[in-house]
Amino acid sequence: MLVIHNPDHARHAGRQEMFRGRLVPCHEVPARLDHVLAELQRRRFGRLEAAAPDAGLDALLARIHAPRYLRFLERAWDDWVALDPANAALDALPSVWPVRGFRADVEPDNFAARLGLYSFDAGTPLMAGSWRAARSGALTAAQAARAVASGKESSAFALTRPPGHHAGADFFGGYCFLNNAALAAQALREGGAARVAVLDVDYHHGNGTQSIFYERADVLTISIHGDPRTEYPFYLGHADERGAGAGEGCNLNLPLPRGTGFERWLEALDAAITAVRAFRADALVVPLGLDTFEGDPISGFRLKSAAYLRVGARLASLALPTVFCFEGGYAVAEVGVNAVNVLEGFESA
């Protein structure tokens, strides 16, 4: 399996996030990727490449994300420091948001207001290297997808951070700025796949991916996740969200209660696989979150490390060109083993 990694990922290294009224150390840290990379090397798994410059990335980004949002991200750090030079020593976190009934069509001049306009939580710090890391991460996903779309590879793993599946067309949150899985799906479409399925196995609902494709019939979005009545990101992910307009019937949410064990989770995965087959997908994108692990500090399912081998084998049963995109997983010491178990199970099936 081809593994493309993001050489700029460590430029994004948040110091603090807001959690239940307190600033706490960030759970999403550079060591997450480092542990996966080390496990890949320890097992001698995959062919490792670093993402390379690609002149086509900006056009791909513009097909998934709103132009004014991309401009905001590119300039955000400089605008944050311009607001107050002392901000250079701080991460940027939003403190005000345009809730229901407020206007979002007019971009404010004040940076603090713009920061809130484009975010949905106060847990996603932005710093000097965030844009470069996120852009290189998007490049990683795009190159993995293009390698698969070309037929040169049957599968590829985009090993990148920051993660992406919570980022929408014009918003960030959940540690995500650019939606790597959505970009991979779009690259597969442009590479010749008439229908693409995105099967998200992260503990947290892929709200950004759902919102990007919700009215499209060419991309099926599926998410197996913690019930949004109790679990972050809360406001999307219910089972009755089926798509709209041309995309009616092209979104499937499979929410499960906190405490769900592997066998019940596997039933949901089998239902998702059945839906992918019914959709007659030509290619598959898997936002690979490992926060379903029993030891994850911010999640609530009970999968053990050995279970991920079976997850990979189940995904392989679809026999589709497949792109994996690294997402969540905050039991940092175990995330490498769990990620490579999925990939090894997939390759060995």
Catalytically active residues, by annotation: 166
List the structure tokens of 127. 């710093």
> How far is it, in rounded angstroms, from Cα 296 to Cα 52?
32
Beta-bridged to residue 283, according to DSSP, are 196
Q: Show Cβ contacts of residue 176 under 8 Å, excluding neighbours closer than 6 positions.
A: 124, 162, 163, 164, 165, 166, 167, 208
The dihedral sign for the CA sequence 330, 336, 177, 131: positive
| Rounded distance between C-alpha atoms, residue 90 and residue 211, angstroms | 31
Q: Where are the alpha helices (DSSP H) in the chain?
A: 31-43, 57-64, 67-83, 111-117, 130-149, 180-190, 207-213, 262-279, 307-316, 332-348
d(CA 71, CA 75): 6
Are the beta carbons of 320 and 269 closer than 8 angstroms?
no
CA dist., res. 322 & res. 316, Å (int): 9
**Under 8 Å between Cβ of 88 and 82:** no
DSSP code, position 108: P
Burial of residue 333 (CB within 10 Å: 0-12, 13-18, 19+) is exposed
Residue with tokens 């109790």: 230
Nearest Cα to Cα of residue 77 among 152, 141, 14: 14
